[in-house]
Every structure is written in structure tokens, then in C-alpha cells.
């Protein structure tokens, strides 16, 4: 066999081993996932954006608690550094205002309503009081850049909370912050095939998160991957090394039935998953 072929084999093997090391999750904390198992997680609460319990609202969280569902929610900062529960980086889709959330003070946000309801964007501390440890909670940390102030302020509130919770984020810097400052917490990396989701080429950061190359930076315990793209190479390898696979966001009984063997936990909306045959 020509020398060049041996060289190519060693190069490819080296690339594979480096990639395997990069996507490797935290491997020795499986006991921490047990309390979260056996629950379905209501995406932004058990919500109905056309009704009186819109996404990430107090009524949506109350309904999830009443139904016994775990809860997935999103936290980010206002201009005056209040931790609020809201998903989008801007207010346009949910509140009809073309402005970033972090450009408004909390008092300014209280003048807006969520979707077509009369509900207001809630403070994280008020949401924690509502959930009150009755169901497990997945807290997504929303970050538009690598500044981790939202991690610090959300954590101050979480330290006072007595219920069961874990954290996740699309931004590896947020996951790393909790690895360093709250190592006892279960933490997760959110990801997807961003090119297919957005219909355009991924930037470098999206590419790295898409293929979970950033796992070496934050060593997540679980990987929450889009239920529309379960066959990604990095996701398969992370599962092989023991990462807990979490599906987001399952929006129909048919999708749940399709992917139920590829994931262990499920974030859902728009139906009752326990009624799926």
C-alpha cells in the first residue's frame, strides 16, 4: 500500500478522534438525570396563543402544573436587568412591537400584552413562585452574545428556588457558565440543523453548535436536539457517549410516534402526549 494512503488513513483517524473528543458529553453524572425522567415537558407552558394562556405566561404555567407536565421556559434580560420569561429576542411576533426585548425596561414591557390576550410578560421570580416546585423545570438561557450576565442574575433567583430544575442554552458560553458556577446542576446544549431551519448557510458558530463541536467547551449532560433533525452525526456520537437525548419541540402525535425511540425526553406543544398510542 502506498505511503500516501497510510498518511491519509492516519489523518482521517486523527480527525475522527478529535471530533469524538470534542462532542463528548459529561459522562459520569447519569444519576442526576433520573429525577427528570418520566415527564413530558410543556414548551413555554401548556399554552394556547389564541386563547387566554399564551406562551410563557403565568396562566400557561399554571395549566402545565395542573396537568402534571414538566415545564420548559425561556429567560432573558430587560434593559434594566430584570430577568423576564420570554422566548424571542425581539417583541414583534408576540407583542407586535418591532424592538429587541433588551431595549426595553421591565416597566415598559408591562405596557405590552402577550399575543391576543391580556397577559403580560412575567418576571422569572413570579414564574418560580407559580411553579413552586410542583413539577420539574427546564430553564433555557437566552443570550444574543457571549455576555453571561443573564446567567448570573437567573442563577441568583434559582438558588432560592426549592424545586427541581435544569438549565440549557443554544449558546455554549451559557452552558459553560453553569458548568463552572453550578457544577451540581444538570446542564444541556440546545442544537439543530440551522441551515435547514433557516434555509440559508450557517455561520461558523451555528456550524459548530449544529455538529456539537462546542461540547468540549461546556461538557453538557444532555443534548436537546430538534426533533426534525434526529440523524445528525454529532447528535448520534453524543448519544453514543452517554448524553441524554432530549427532543424539541414535538408538535403532533405523529411526530412523537416517529421519534420516540430516538430520544428519551420530549418537549412538546399543541397536544397531550400521554394520549399517543
Q: What per-residue confidence (pLDDT) applies to 275?
A: 75
Query: Which residues does residue 174 pair with via DSSP β-bridges, in sequence order?
Result: none
Q: Which residues are catalytic?
A: 43, 87
Half-sphere exposure in the Cβ direction for 169 (13 Å, CA): 26
Distance CA 102, CA 187 (A): 25
Among 41, 17, 88, residue whose Cα is nearest residue 244: 41
Query: Which residues does residue 190 pair with via DSSP β-bridges, in sequence order?
Result: 224
Residues of the chain with pLDDT under 70: 1, 276-277
Among 78, 60, 43, 33, residue whose Cα is nearest residue 131: 60
Distance CA 59, CA 130 (A): 9
Q: What per-residue confidence (pLDDT) applies to 276?
A: 66
pLDDT in tens, 100-134: 999 999 999 999 999 989 999 999 999 999 999 99
The owner of cell 412523537 is 256
pTM of the model: 0.94
| Class for the domain spanning 31-275 | alpha beta
What is the distance, to the nearest Å, from the Cα of residue 273 to the centroid of all Cα atoms in its chain? 19
Listed by start position, the domains of the chain span 31-275
Amino acid at each position: 500500500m502506498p505511503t500516501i494512503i497510510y498518511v491519509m488513513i492516519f489523518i482521517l483517524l486523527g480527525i475522527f478522534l478529535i471530533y469524538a473528543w470534542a462532542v463528548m458529553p459529561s459522562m459520569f453524572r447519569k444519576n442526576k438525570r433520573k429525577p427528570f425522567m418520566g415527564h413530558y415537558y410543556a414548551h413555554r407552558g401548556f399554552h394556547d396563543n389564541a386563547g387566554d394562556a399564551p406562551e410563557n405566561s403565568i396562566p400557561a404555567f399554571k395549566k402545565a402544573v395542573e396537568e402534571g407536565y414538566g415545564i420548559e421556559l425561556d429567560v432573558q434580560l430587560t434593559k434594566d436587568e430584570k430577568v423576564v420569561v420570554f422566548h424571542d429576542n425581539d417583541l414583534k411576533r408576540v407583542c407586535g412591537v418591532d424592538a429587541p426585548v433588551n431595549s426595553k425596561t421591565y416597566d415598559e414591557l408591562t405596557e405590552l400584552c402577550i399575543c391576543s390576550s391580556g397577559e403580560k410578560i412575567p418576571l422569572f421570580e413570579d414564574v418560580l413562585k407559580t411553579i413552586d416546585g410542583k413539577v420539574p423545570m427546564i430553564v433555557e438561557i437566552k443570550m444574543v452574545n457571549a455576555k453571561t450576565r443573564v446567567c448570573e442574575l437567573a442563577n441568583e433567583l434559582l438558588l432560592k428556588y426549592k424545586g427541581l430544575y435544569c438549565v440549557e442554552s443554544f449558546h455554549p458560553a451559557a452552558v459553560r457558565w453553569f458548568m463552572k458556577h453550578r457544577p451540581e446542576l444538570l446542564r444541556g446544549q440546545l442544537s439543530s440543523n440551522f441551515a435547514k431551519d433557516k434555509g440559508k448557510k450557517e455561520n461558523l458558530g451555528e456550524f459548530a453548535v449544529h455538529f456539537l463541536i462546542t461540547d468540549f467547551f461546556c461538557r453538557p449532560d444532555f443534548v436537546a436536539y430538534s426533533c426534525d433533525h434526529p440523524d445528525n452525526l454529532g447528535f448520534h456520537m453524543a448519544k453514543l457517549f452517554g448524553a441524554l437525548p432530549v427532543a424539541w419541540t414535538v408538535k403532533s402525535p405523529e411526530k412523537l410516534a416517529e421519534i420516540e425511540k430516538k430520544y428519551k425526553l420530549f418537549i412538546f406543544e399543541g397536544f397531550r402526549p400521554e394520549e399517543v398510542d
